[in-house]
Structure 1
Amino acid sequence: MIEEAITRAESFSVMYTPFATKIRADKVEKVKEVFTKTHPAYVEYIYTDLQGLHMLPQTVDWSCFSPQQYLLTLGFKNKEDGKFLEKVSSRKLPTFTEYKTPFGLLTREDTVRQMETMGKRILPILDFIRSTQLNGSFPACLGVMEKLQYASLLSRLQRVKEQSQVINQAMAELATIPYLRDISPQEAELLQSLMADAMDTLEGRRNDKERVWNAIQKVGRVEDFLYQLEDNFLKTKKLRNARRQKTKMKRLQTVQQS
């Protein structure tokens, strides 16, 4: 998985920093400074995974009781890619979407653009994280959910062979998740639903129910839309308060001068 992610990595760069004790905030800033100097082309957004511990499969000594742990730092050429990782760390079922309105239908051009974004920018990032992560700080279905959503985009474009390959890969990853980490009953139920829908898709079965990953993506779009509305409201409120304060200061100065 990590080799495939490295091959497809075009929009981000990565740095692993070895550590033995708890990372303090000042140390994180130093790590980011080092990253900025060594990867100047990938500083549009810098993300450091403070929730998870990572290892390097190529160099780890499995005979050691406790392998060397690393802090993972990712830098991006596109700010939105980094912001998606922030969503991953704060939401149970994060969904990547570039669209501000959640209810509009995607045109063919939109579908092609989102497919390329998922395939070239988002999936390699998630594969990187999952392939070196020691503990399960991210959602159990991270990366697999996005693969299935990517497969749906391929289906819309009638790229059936590629869709089948992606779904088979996602199913293989779903099957290994319970062996790689502890999962909650809710996560186990979600895994079963994803596996069942993936199998139905491969076998060409259709039913009245929407595929789980597409339903979750719709919820994610609505959630993103609401977050955007809230953000716009707070920005407008802050700007309005600043203008009011400025007006009060001008009035006060006028009174003092008169």
Structure 2
Amino acid sequence: MTTVKSEPKTAATASDELLRCEDVSLSFGNVRALVDVSVSLRRGEITALVGDNGAGKSTLVRCVSGIHRPDSGRVLFDGTQVDFGSPEDAREAGIETVHQNLALVEDLTVWQNLFLNREIVRRIGPVSFLDRKAMQTRAQEMVSTLAVNVPAVTSRVRRLSGGQRQAVSICRAAGFSSQLVIMDEPTAALGVQETARVEELILKLRDDGHAVLLISHNFAQVMRLSDQVWVMRSGRCVAGRRTAETTGEEIVALITGAQSA
């Protein structure tokens, strides 16, 4: 797939920056999972977080998304220091995460998955009921906005392909006023055509103004999609590069330690 990338931006200003982690550290017993990690993400950009297995990428993401609380350091989101106690807190603030396992319920329909734990409820006096028609209508709008290729919002998820399931997860993340969408290996289990389709959705998220944090071991994908790359090694952030100013070979060298920052 040929991707046309936007011109690299100049140095970030305070208004450009959406997320900043400053000296974030976290230990599990005697294991130091994160050590003084500092990274930042700009609005309307795709930022890649790369590193070998065990480098601390997923742990950092869990700190940002409210699963873990750092032992020290701070996280600033949209200019405000945050201390999320749960993923629900992060979602309310505007941070959505598309996990590698997608977290979809196979026996539910597309629209039911999109509104899982976010159901539209109507009240008539003391009686409450689910507004299924409103949810189906809104789900169709969400799918149409992202041009997601699913048979129908009434289709059960178990009948969808891997790429269509990933698209539903992305649609759910982007459809509720999220400012930041975190994606953990979004194309790891997909074929070539489905990977290309999901990459188009990721670029559309950026073009629609979302910030995207992408965790990927696919360095060609990182170079195609991202505007900024942060490199993790042994629980530390060892380097940051504007993608237009680096190469895949340099990123690999930074990950392995063959090249210092």
Q: Same fold (TM over 0.5)?
A: no
| Bigger Rg, structure 1 or 2 | 1
Structure number with greater CO (CA < 8 Å, separation at least 6) is 2
Relative to its length, the structure with more helix (as a share) is 1
**TM-score normalized by the length of structure 2:** 0.28
